[in-house]
Amino acid sequence: MPVIGDRSEGDLNLTPFARAWRARTKTGAAGPILREDERYFVHQALSTPCLNAIQACSGIYLETADGRKIIDFHGNNVHQVGFGHPRVVEAVKAQLEILPFCTRRFTNVKVVELAKKLADLAPGDLNKVLLAPAATLAVSTALKLARAATGRYKTLSVWDSFHGASLDAITVGGQALFRRGMGPLLPGAEHVPPVDPYHCPLKECSGEGSCACAGYLEYVLAKDGEIGAVILETVRNTDVVIPPPWYYQRVREACDQHGALLILDETAVGLGRTGRMFAFEHWGIVPDMVILGKGLGGGVFPLAALVVREGLDVAGEGAVGHYTHEKTPLGAAAALAVMEVIKEEGLLERAVALGRRMGRRLKNWPRQYSLVGDVRGIGFLYGVELVKDRRTKEPATSEAEAVMYRCLEKGLNFKVSRGNVLTLSPPLIIGEEELDRALDILEESLQEVMVEYGYLR
């Protein structure tokens, strides 16, 4: 089992909990589908074998093969506007009847409208766009464009980060589950410790502007002198690690000083998740490139975008992002509808308000429950970290998985990250009563597990 110590990096399907769950599920309506899935799909630790089969999804809910409805706080982060939003579905249906595909060497109205919309929304001079069928490909495009613009091939990124599962993306990524056994990876990829206030690897993240991790990044940029790009997740979505207010100002200044481009990957946290259209707006800086994905296609069509400074339009005689569905009218129609929904339904403001409501409840849990070591959040994204002992911060991995499966039984789905962080990423359209019900399920399950494991008597 891929682990770091006893901390797995994601929702592994290799655990005793997962095997027991599948054994029960296979006796129900999902059984035949799960057996066929397991037979025909290549097995890997984060997908096949699967936990259940879904027959429908709508709004905040998944519906299983046996008709059970589950509130989804996972959604692979595609569900800012919920599942099957009528505006998105109708936009794609209408486009499907007119122009379902645009072949290379041509363009179309929808993709031009989308590129203009992204350029208008993005701060500063982030006004040039390339589209791709997946954010991993947008990461690849960003890395190639950085080479073309700087003449340098070296990159600097952080351990524990995730930028996709392709070979170049796992090279700059920092998760062992994806990297281990896959070498040799691309040359020139340097890594530094991540900024992580709760688990600072250098034990020195305290005080205004005091961060050994930021200093380490600055040091490597200065010493190497040939790094062309720094690529970071603005907020590490998996376990909800939020850099301090001053962090990105130091990173931006260091990149400028040493001739490196700053690439921010907002695949999972952009488009309103943090209460801003772009998460980096919270830090008052503008990167050289930003990557959007997942929710861009509204959970209906796979789509990603790379938005870059105008001065980086330097690859006209080459090919940095050359994809069959690069100028997809269907994807653009979905994305434009998503932008309209975010604006017209006030989802940025809603993410802030609902996030505060959620935070008021969650942030009491460390005082109420000894199993909860830390609660951290930004906008409508929260992480609840479970620990056996707050002094040592020993991860409570079995307990976290037990909580997740109790919640699934009761009708709530979410991700467990790094083995012990309950990652809560609700749809931005959820109602207050539905949010409270989901948190009731989570708290009930937490209490039950604490009794079972001897934390409560």
CA torsion angle 143 145 147 149 (round to 10): -140
d(CA 394, CA 42): 34
Question: Are 166 and 189 spatial neighbours (Cβ–Cβ below 8 Å)?
Answer: no
- What CATH number matches the domain at 86-344, 3.90.105.20, 3.40.640.10, 3.40.50.300, 3.40.50.2300? 3.40.640.10
Give the closest residue to 335 by CA, choosing from 177, 183, 116, 175.
Answer: 116
CA atoms within 13 A on the CB side of 443: 15
According to the model, what pLDDT value does residue 244 have? 92
Q: pTM of this prediction?
A: 0.96
Give the closest residue to 335 by CA, choosing from 95, 63, 12.
Answer: 95
Residue 191 CB partners (closer than 8 Å, separation 6+): 156, 157, 158, 159, 174
d(CA 217, CA 220): 5
User: Does the 3-81+346-452 domain belong in CATH 3.90.1150.10?
Assistant: yes
**How many CB atoms are closer than 10 A to CB 301?**
22
Give the Å distances, CA to CA, from 438 to 31, 158, 373, 441.
27, 33, 21, 5
- CA angle (354 as vertex; 348, 357 as ends), nearest 5: 150
- Give me the residue spans of the domains in the chain: 3-81+346-452, 86-344
3-state secondary structure (DSSP) of residue 157: strand
Q: What is the pLDDT along the chain (457 residues), one digit of tens a residue?
A: 344 444 556 678 888 999 999 999 999 999 999 999 999 999 998 889 999 999 999 999 999 999 999 999 999 999 999 999 999 999 999 999 999 999 989 999 999 999 999 999 999 999 999 999 999 999 999 999 999 999 999 999 999 999 999 999 999 999 988 998 998 999 999 999 998 888 877 766 554 555 677 889 999 999 999 999 999 999 999 999 999 999 999 999 999 999 999 999 999 999 999 999 999 999 999 999 999 999 999 999 999 999 999 999 999 999 999 899 999 999 999 999 999 999 999 999 999 999 999 999 999 999 999 999 999 999 999 999 999 999 999 999 999 999 999 999 999 999 999 999 999 999 999 999 999 999 999 999 999 999 999 998 6
According to the model, what pLDDT value does residue 209 have? 52
Sign of CA dihedral 324, 330, 333, 337: negative
- CA angle (148 as vertex; 146, 153 as ends), nearest 5: 60
